[in-house]
Structure 1
Amino acid sequence: MRTIIAAAILTFGLAAPSLAEERQVACSATDAQAVAPASTVRSSLEDLGYNVGRIETEHGCYEVRAENGSGYPIRALYHAGTGELVQAGLARD
């Protein structure tokens, strides 16, 4: 089941360094001029068909909670300075 869900996440554009293990990810601090807006991250996920529940900033990352079209909850971390995906996987709440 996890393999199918992980494959679905990858298919919808959420490739990540590690889906199998939860690990501490730290995004480096960014200078104020190089911050990607959270609305850009939200829009890109919504364009892929995700229902974005919330976006919070933590340790230089945007932590995104969303659901895919099948209702599976995901958690993704995006670098707040570049807007690049750092990690993605199933939400464990």
Structure 2
Amino acid sequence: MSESTRTRAHVYVSGHVQGVYYRATTRDTARDLGVDGWVKNLSDGRVEAVFEGPRDDVESMVQWCHDGSPMASVDEVDVTYESPEGVTGFRIER
């Protein structure tokens, strides 16, 4: 797939999203969809994530973030679309 058919979403998720398996479920969902990127907890209680891949799959991940893991309670999802940087694989950053 050429980079021109890929998109990148940079997402910040706020609410009760730490300590509820949000990162692990994000990683598993992204891998199931074949989306590349990473996810990490922020010191202010939010979760930050980057998704790269085909536009429809990236959009599916952004939509998934509004619910997240079963124990999460999402208040807000802020998303910015950027040029892909060629990230491969999906990992949890610490």
Given the two structures, how large is their TM-score scaled by the length of structure 1? Answer: 0.42
Question: Which fold has the larger relative contact order, with Cα–Cα distance below 8 Å and residues 6 or more apart in sequence?
Answer: 2
